[in-house]
Amino acid sequence: MLTRIPSMILNVKSRVFLLFAVFGLIMLNPNETLALQQETAGVDYKEYSGEVKEESSNKSLVFATLTVEGTNISTITNTEGNFLLKVPKEHINKNLVVSFLGYKTKIIPISSLGREGNEISLKVSATQLSEVNINAPKDALALVKETLKNRGENYFEDPTLMTAFYRETIKRRRKNVSLAEAVVNVYKTPYSIGRDDAVELYKARKSTDYSKLDTVALKLQGGPYNTLYVDLMKYPQYIFAEEDFTNYKFTFDRSTRTNDRLIYVIKFDQYETILEPLYQGELYIDVENKILTGAIFSLNITDRNLAAQLFVRKKPAKVDVWPTEVAYRVDYREKDGKWFYGYSSVFMEFKVDWADKWFNSQYSMTAEMAITDWEKVTKAERPKYRQRIRESIILSDEASGFSDPNFWGEYNIIEPEKSIESAIRKIQRQLRRDERNSD
C-alpha cells in the first residue's frame, strides 16, 4: 500500500513511505446502489474457523500464521485472534501448521478440526540466556546491513505469482465508515533484482456509510500498493538506503525464538539531531542465517504541517487535516529454505479540524494484505501494463458493493473483526430489502 511520493507533490526525498489520504466534500448520488452480481461456484473446499491463543494466559494471538503443510495455502489471525481458513478438499488429510513469533510451532491434523469454534493454544518458546551471550553479535548496525545484503540468497529467487487478500477500513472514532476488500494477484519479482512488483485486481467489494462521514469523504489512495511497499527486504531504499544509515541509532533489545530459530530484536530510531521525520521501530532478525522475519515501525511525527504535506493530497479549503500516528508492520514466511513476503499492514490516524466548528473529528485508516497462496511463474506471465492497477488507485471507487459470501468462493480472507462483521451483515440485510422492494 505504500506508494512512492511524487516529486511534484512533496519537497522531500522519495524514500519516505506514502499513504495519500484524499479528503473531499461528500457528493451523494441518489441512484448509487450496492448491488453486485452474485457469483456461485461448486464448493470444492472445506471452511474452518476458530481462535489462536497463548496456552498459559489464554490471551488471543494477533497475526499468527496458519499454513496447510506441504502447500502454499495460508492465512493469518485478525486483531481479535480469530481465523478463517478454506482448504481444498484434496488437502484436508494434511496437517495445519500454526506459528507465531516467540512461540513453539504447533502441527495439527486438519481432519481433527471442527468447522467452527476451534481453539488452538501455543506455548511460549523460552530462550537460553547462555546461548544468547555466547553467540550475540556485537554490532547491531552491522547485523542489519548484512541481513539486507543477503536478501538475494535468503528470499525468493524466482518470479512468483501470489494470490493475496487485501482490506482497508476507515473509521470515524470507533464507528466503521468505509470498508473495501479485494482479492488481488501480486507478481513478485526476485528479491535480488530492483524491478518493482505488479498488482492485478481480481475481485473487489465495498460499503460506505455516508451518514457517519460528517460531510467529509475520506479516501485512501494507492490501494494494495500501500501494503506491498512495506516489504522492507524488497524495498529497503524507502527506509534504509545506504546514505540513511548514519541517521539512525541501532541497538539490541532482546531475543526470542520461533520454529527453533534464535531471533534478535533490534531497535532503531533516528538521532535527535535529524530534523526530517524518519522512522522508529523493531526488526526481528534470525541471527544465525541473517534473515529478517518481521518488522514493526512507525513514522516520527514531530512537525504537524510537514506530516500533513506528506500524507494529505486533497482537502477542503477551510479544513486542517494532519496525521497523528502512522504505523507499519510486515511479516515474512519460509518454505524450503527460502523466505517471502507474507503479510503487512498500515495504520494511520488523522485529526480533521474545521475552521467554523468548535470540535475536531478523528479518523483512522487501516490497510492490510495477506498472501494466501502462491506459485512460481515465468517472466512471460508478468501481467501486461493494461492489466495492472495504477499506484494512484482508490479502491473504494473501483469496487461496487457487498454481495453474499459466495462472492469470495474458495479464496481465503482475513477473518473480519466483530465490528466489521456487523457492518457487513447490516449491508447484506439492506441489499435483501432492496431486492424485495424491486421485485
pLDDT tens for residues 199-234? Answer: 998 888 877 655 555 555 677 888 899 999 999 999
Q: Rounded to 5, what percent of the chain is helix, strand, coil?
A: 20, 40, 40
Could you give the maximum distance between any two Cα atoms of the chain, in Å?
Answer: 75
Give the pLDDT confidence score for residue 44 in this predicted structure.
85
pLDDT band at 35 (very low <50, low <70, confident <90, very high): very low
Give the pLDDT confidence score for residue 235 in this predicted structure.
93
pLDDT band at 137 (very low <50, low <70, confident <90, very high): low
Query: Cβ–Cβ contacts within 10 Å for residue 46, how many?
Result: 17
pLDDT band at 319 (very low <50, low <70, confident <90, very high): confident
- Looking at the chain, the number of H-run helices and the number of E-run strands are 8, 20
- The residue whose grid cell reads 482479492 is 183
Give the pLDDT confidence score for residue 426 in this predicted structure.
59
Q: What single DSSP character describes residue 10?
A: -
Distance CA 142, CA 164 (A): 33
Distance CA 329, CA 347 (A): 9
Distance CA 21, CA 321 (A): 10
- The residue whose grid cell reads 454481495 is 403
Distance CA 67, CA 54 (A): 18
Q: What mean pLDDT value characterizes the chain?
A: 79
Give the pLDDT confidence score for residue 37 in this predicted structure.
31
Give the pLDDT confidence score for residue 268 in this predicted structure.
96
Give the pLDDT confidence score for residue 121 in this predicted structure.
95
Long-range interactions of 314-320: CB distance < 8 A, separation 24+: 314/22, 314/23, 314/24, 315/23, 315/24, 316/23, 316/24, 316/25, 316/216, 318/354, 318/355, 318/356, 319/23, 319/216, 319/352, 319/353, 319/354, 319/355, 320/351, 320/352, 320/353, 320/355
Mean pLDDT of 307-313: 81
Mean pLDDT of 66-84: 90
Residue scoring higher pLDDT (312 or 425): 312
pLDDT(112) > 80 = yes
pLDDT band at 144 (very low <50, low <70, confident <90, very high): very high
pLDDT(305) > 50 = yes
Mean pLDDT of 138-147: 91
Which run of H or of E encompasses 140? helix 140-149
Query: Cβ–Cβ contacts within 10 Å for residue 123, how many?
Result: 12
Give the pLDDT confidence score for residue 18 in this predicted structure.
40
Query: Cβ–Cβ contacts within 10 Å for residue 198, how many?
Result: 20
Residue scoring higher pLDDT (425 or 125): 125
Query: How confident is the model over 281-299, as pLDDT tens digits?
Result: 999 999 889 999 999 999 9
pLDDT band at 111 (very low <50, low <70, confident <90, very high): very high
pLDDT(371) > 50 = yes
Query: How confident is the model over 354-367, as pLDDT tens digits?
Result: 776 676 788 888 99
Lowest mean pLDDT among 192-196, 251-255, 408-412: 408-412
Mean pLDDT of 167-172: 86
pLDDT band at 271 (very low <50, low <70, confident <90, very high): very high
Which run of H or of E encompasses 373? strand 361-376
Cβ contact 105:258 at 8 Å: yes
Q: Is the pTM here over 0.85, yes or no?
A: no
Query: Residue 231: which of 244, 240, 222 has the closest Cα?
Result: 240
Distance CA 125, CA 259 (A): 9
Give the pLDDT confidence score for residue 180 in this predicted structure.
86
**Cα distances (angstroms) measured from residue 275 to each of 281, 290, 300, 433, 439:** 17, 31, 10, 56, 63
pLDDT(21) > 50 = no
Distance CA 369, CA 167 (A): 6
Percent above pLDDT 70 for the chain:
77
Give the pLDDT confidence score for residue 25 in this predicted structure.
37
Give the pLDDT confidence score for residue 51 in this predicted structure.
95
Rg, Å, the chain Cα set:
22
What is the grid cell recorded at 146?
A: 548484512
Mean pLDDT of 312-320: 78
Distance CA 347, CA 364 (A): 7
Mean pLDDT of 414-423: 65
pLDDT(424) > 70 = no
pLDDT(94) > 90 = yes
Q: Which amino acid makes up residue 204?
A: A
